[in-house]
Chain A
């Protein structure tokens, strides 16, 4: 009886949906296999160990210390000498395991002895290319920080290139409190703006095929440059999938693209499932794709320029709320409003920042001129964030909630959306 009713309710899932479910069912066991066999680093604790490895992320400064990452090992050391992405290091020290989640952990070593090993020169490999990218990134950073004061320079670098480590602590806290932190990490939004910009400017010179090819290349370079973090990777993959679908003449459904990108990423690197950045990015996009169209019909959100930002943030917030609460125990109820105020500046900041980085190669004067304009938008952004960040009632601190709460929330959300979609469908028919 119950099954029959359920069947009737689920009848609207069309052929495409069934194919999708099938793929999902095949995926799960395969994924679990990958997860089970994924390589883990295990180091003895309470003992001095010697390890060797390559620096997998551009080291960054935290206060007056340097943080270096070798796969699942984090090292805190003096600021000088500075190490770089791709350096091979030999580390002797004590390592302490820090748990981030059931499958997510890293080892931390504080002030171990570090020796740089001369690496054998593999002529062309991806390290060389990435090294080149990080060098370029370093150059851009140097240029921008010499043109703008702090924290403006840091904010611009965050928005443009997802460089977040140099952001002053106070300002970081204000961003966190106001729920605008997602704007300064290499987010999907950056990637979609870069791809949009590339497509729109290239299409004037090239045919469709080449435009898409070169834009894809541009996206890959951008994603690598911002450090290939999960949100940027997801957005890059989605953009490229969407382009390829367009090229092969198929109509691409955004939801399918999102799911396939996510599945692909998980197969490639199973531990990503436990990465908060990945979870947030995936759920936020899902929220924007499913909930935002429903909100869009509301009159309140039809404000010019500002309305889009508000609607998108509300949609993303509804979809990511449990992840934020379970992991950070903090919620900023004014966040959609604050986002609405600052999001419109992002395209200007990205265009001006990109212009500054590019012009900086030729003429300091021109890029300084752009910097003044960028300063205007950045200053507005900073003023808004600092103003709301200083209000004590902007965010609520809660005790960290249990995962069950999150599951319950998503189940409820799913039911509401299901009801809504059935209702809409019946009205439509």
Chain B
């Protein structure tokens, strides 16, 4: 019996279909929320998944985000319910070009601030081609994907090229809090302490450390205010010295557990009351 004989046997394909069905049945998700901080090098890419809903926050600087999606989504799911671009810089944006090319995206959340880079032009072209539903958030907006809730904390106004005159794209970052029952995570993009000061935030369990651990972000005041138990730093090889010793010290001083994506992918799993880290990270 050779492969060529097998290919012609209907029984063979039928049993394959059966195997596929079993794999499908076993890959059905449970009732917990999974937050995966992808290992994409110097940049952010975070996948939030609950049941068959997936939300991606930023795409990292390269195609590695596709591996992260491949690994953390069921094989039959080619659909992301929502994609958030915090701000249009290449360490957050470039990977999204490939995501938009290869996945179907329902909602795209981003400010209307643009970047003059060629990568952004390409991204714009893809968005116009794929036509997701667009939403430009501002402080106080809420998006509900039951039972998840996204509360937007920044920018203060609907931001576009017309009303944004500053130079630092980082300060236009979309900041939001994700809530699932009693569990809250704060996503901060690349904001600096200047904005952290004026954010109206409550206490959270997990903090996505702003700007890859830059010393101009994550101030003591801010940490006092939000009291996270876990801080995740999305970082890779870089020439800026991220994550900075200052930030690491500040986090340590507040006895916050620190996890970094340059060591491995980080997965936070929660039922809404308690959370755990993916097995490889348990000490």
Contacts and interface: CB of A to CB of B under 8 A. Distances in A.
Main secondary structure of the interface of B (DSSP, over half): helix
Nearest to B103: A146
B20 A376 contact: yes
A149 interface: yes
Interface stretch (A32-40, A73-81, A265-273, A396-404): A73-81
Contact of B62 (A63, A148, A379): A63
A61 interface: yes
Given A63-B62, A142-B101, A376-B16, A150 B3 contact: no
A163 interface: no
Contacts of A82: 122
Interface size bracket, B side: 35 or more
Given A78-B118, A168-B67, A146 B7 contact: no
B25 interface: no
Which residue among A145, A351, A379 has the maximum number of chain B CB atoms within 10 Å of its CB? Answer: A145
A351 B70 contact: no
A108 to B, nearest CB: 20
Contacts of A78: 118-119
A348 interface: yes
B63 interface: yes
Contacts of A252: none
A344 B63 CA distance: 30
B28 interface: no
B79 to A, nearest CB: 11
Contacts of A148: 75
Contacts of A80: 117-119, 121-122
B94 interface: yes
Given A80-B122, A81-B118, A347-B7, A149 B75 contact: yes
Contact of A146 (B2, B70, B101): B101
A372 B16 CA distance: 10
Looking at A64, A79, A82, the one whose CB has the most chain B CB atoms below 10 A away is: A64
A243 interface: no
Contacts of B67: 150-151, 168, 170
Given A61-B63, A166-B63, A150 B69 contact: yes
Contact of B3 (A61, A168, A305): A305
Nearest to A61: B63
Contacts of B71: 149
B204 interface: no
B61 interface: yes
Contact of A351 (B7, B20, B62): B7
Contacts of B78: 146-147
B214 to A, nearest CB: 20
- 9 tightest Cβ-Cβ pairs between the two chains A and B: A149-B70, A80-B118, A150-B70, A150-B66, A347-B3, A64-B62, A150-B67, A145-B102, A146-B102
11 contacts: A61-B62, A64-B90, A80-B118, A82-B122, A149-B66, A168-B63, A170-B67, A347-B3, A351-B7, A375-B20, A375-B75
Interface of B: 1-4, 7, 13, 16-17, 19-20, 23, 41, 61-64, 66-67, 69-71, 73, 75-76, 78, 90, 94, 101-103, 117-119, 121-122
